[in-house]
Amino acid sequence: MSESPKNAILQRDNTYAIIPKTGFAGLLNGDSLRKLADVVDKYQIPVIKMTASQRIALVGIKEEDVNKVWADLGMEAAPATGLCVRSVQSCPGNSLCKYGKQDSLGLAQRLDELFSGIALPNKFKMGISGCPLNCCEAWTRDFGAFGKPNGFTVVIGGNAGAAPHIGKVLAEGLSIEEVVSLAGRLISYYKENAKNGERMFKFVERLGIEEIQKVTLA
């Protein structure tokens, strides 16, 4: 069997899906939409799918077209697979939503710029919401944050997969820069101390939230 083309995900029918990095937190612009539409028409790509992580997947690409599609797009691949910090999800927050208490998009942009794609012992998903209604589901992400009037609450160790877990509160009342700095310390600590393949919820269970607070909030 031949090796899959780079940055392409094999599908059931032996075609490929690709997930370009079009921006962060599902934000798009006319230029990226036009490029996507152009390759969809040119290579007769049958499926355009919004993913659960606020990305756009182009699905059903023939093997011989994958590299040509990437060349035409001129975009990087989003970190959609593998053991790393994946794309950061965010709701519109207080820049657009009337319920927003904090700037979730501003926080998501900083997190995406600094950490997206960093290799880790397991995948690491982030969800950022502008208020406690939590449209971006911070409680079920490896790292989540949601806005309250006094700042962001950070929760870690949530998971919505085969073994659902609600995250635990790591810190409250933080500014954007304080959340970014805490995320950096947590990611380093997790990278250095988690067992191979240990997802954040298992890491939190094994070490205890108090121990992680002691190290990352010091």
- Give the residue with the Cβ less far from ligand SF4, 173 or 208: 173
User: Measured from the CB of residue 167, what is the shortest distance to ligand SF4 in angstroms?
Assistant: 15
Are the CB atoms for 22 and 58 separated by under 8 Å?
A: no
- Give the residue with the Cβ less far from ligand SF4, 92 or 158: 92
- Give the residue with the Cβ less far from ligand SF4, 93 or 157: 93
The CA distance from 107 to 44, in Å, is 37
String of DSSP letters for 34-59: HHHHHHHHHTT--EEEE-TTS-EEEE
Count of CB atoms within 10 A of residue 39's CB?
22
Please identify which residue in the block is written with the tokens 């954040």: 200
The CA distance from 16 to 1, in Å, is 15
User: Measured from the CB of residue 19, what is the shortest distance to ligand SF4 in angstroms?
Assistant: 23
131 is an interface residue for ligand SF4 by CB under 6 A: yes
User: Measured from the CB of residue 26, what is the shortest distance to ligand SF4 in angstroms?
Assistant: 12
DSSP classification of residue 20:
B
User: Measured from the CB of residue 132, what is the shortest distance to ligand SF4 in angstroms?
Assistant: 7
Torsions phi, psi of 169, nearest 5? -70, 125
Q: How many residues bind ligand SF4 (CB under 6 A)?
A: 12
Handedness of CA 48, 50, 54, 59 (dihedral sign): negative
- Of 27, 83, 84, 97, the residue at the interface with ligand SF4 (CB under 6 A) is 97
- Of 134, 140, 159, 216, the residue at the interface with ligand SF4 (CB under 6 A) is 134
- Segment near ligand SF4 (CB under 6 A); pick from 28-36, 87-95, 111-119, 159-167: 87-95
Give Cα 111 to chain centroid, integer Å. Answer: 9
153 is an interface residue for ligand SF4 by CB under 6 A: no
- Of 129, 140, 153, 216, the residue at the interface with ligand SF4 (CB under 6 A) is 129
91 is an interface residue for ligand SF4 by CB under 6 A: yes
SS3 198: coil
Residues that bind ligand SF4 (CB under 6 A): 91-93, 97, 99-100, 129-131, 133-135
